[in-house]
Structure 1
Amino acid sequence: MTGKGRELADMMERRKVDILCVQETRWKGSKAHSIGAGFKLFYYGVYSKRNGVGVVLKEEFVRNVLEVRRVSDRLMSLKLEIEGVILNVVSGYAPQVGCELEEKERFWSELDEVIESIPTGERVAIGVDFNGHVGEGNRGDEEVMGKFGVKERNLEGQMVVDFAKRMDMAVVNTYFQKREEHRVTYKSGGRRTQVDYILCRRGNLKEISDCKVVVGESVARQHRMVVCRMTLMVCKKKRSKIEIEKKTKWWKLKKEECCEEFRQKLRQALGDQVVLPDNWETTAEVIRETGRKVLGVSSGRRKEDKETLW
């Protein structure tokens, strides 16, 4: 995607996409910079001519980033806090079919480690070019995928399904019935396949209302963008009730009429006794109760400091 930053940002703005996982960035380094239109790219790459992964965020979410984890030039993750909900976004680029087995095993091992390190109470959204086909249908795999894949499953696709089972994830693309044109993520010549997938925790699948491939965009030459609509369910914390002490308005005794009324009521409460009772606690309570009745009590609320803006 070298030189395509602004084009990518414009597409995200047009399609109303807030977070995007990108692969094959082919940018060397581990940085974050603005790509225009109010979007910022976090990326990691070792070589300038191959691999590289990244996550693009809408600028308003940048301040919500808690952690950026750059694992390799094939895998990275971002941890965000949105309205009290922790969301982990994982971007990955799995080795192609012809790559060495050792490289494939390293990728899957690193991905396992990333997911296992995330607390179970946090959300996870995985956007990866898995270079594998999970296939159409879900017989025997109903717990992790729907029926709406593309064509036949291959070995790399089986690795995706096995990963989903290990980590209790769901392959989101396959749960939404779409025309094949909106399921094919890779198109080159006569080849039409599905290799790019979005995964989430099975328990959070209900938060996703739609998932489909966007057609008609030219940012990526062969791959097409997969978009899902996720609504985070925020649990509002109940405010704890705070007992506020109400205070007697003793300052009113400065007024002669209030002071005189207080004397009369107190004398009546004490039974017009000239000598006070021996029990001081009883006398003190009579004084306090009389004060509350005659002078009144405050609401207990603090007076707010008001600032006038000119």
Structure 2
Amino acid sequence: MTTDAQRQVEEGLTAEVIASFARTPDPRLKELMEALTRHLHAFIRETRLTEQEWTKAIEFLTAVGHTTDDRRQEFILLSDVLGASMQTIAVNNEAHGDATEATVFGPFFVEESPLVDDGGDIAGDAAGTPCWVEGTVRDTDGNPVPGARIEVWEADEDGFYDVQYTDERVAGRGHLFSRPDGGFSFWCVTPTPYPIPHDGPVGALLDAVGRSPVRAAHLHFMVTAANYRTLVTHIFVEGDPQLEVGDSVFGVKESLVKRFADQPAGTPAPDGRALGDKPWARSRFDIVLAPAR
């Protein structure tokens, strides 16, 4: 049990650290540093954190930093598995009418993805079952949003993004623009469940707490248009068993679960693409953008 004298020492230290930020010129930085200090000190005091545990925490964060490079972002992964990414998204993407819900960005987005024409193929050489995705981009009043930039990226059927390979391939990613009527369409590969990278410190953490690293099957989107709030989201595959087990980064929202309808080999493709004897799938995702704040 903590004595009154000990409590005064601990509370006094917290107050002293908070007071050290009194002359911070930026009011928002001052607010953030004061709140961080209050919550961090409260965590240490509540859990009666040992010096050995604090050292372990520092070693863990150091390992996360050493694992991060220009192809792998272990800090984003840590943020994701702690639900911090989704909480930040919840705070910054308040519901607006029937605007499409946002979800995690993930660590595998890459700038300057290939441009594909409407109806083009973002899969490249990514392994997997061909999948046709179509939909519209509209505002919350139902008006089409022409010229919206639609970024799409995904893992292949083996569960890897192109940046996880060492041969500099570009596959499973691209961007296109919505048509004058707001419509869009493209080919990709049908999403499948896969584990987040779990050979590093974040994977060791998940193992220590008995959590699975597997993500529910999904396809990433980022949609941008002038005068609208940028949307970062996924769509998930209806019927994926992983939806029942849980998504390792808490990204699933019911409104984002979509049907990916299997098409038998020989079924004509919407754009006349020759698929030979390959089965394929199709899905629809109608996107609604919220106005910019």
TM-score range, shorter chain: under 0.3
Compare the two structures and name the one with the higher strand fraction: 1
Q: Which has the higher contact order (CA 8 A, sep 6+)?
A: 2
TM-score (norm 2): 0.25
TM-score (norm 1): 0.24
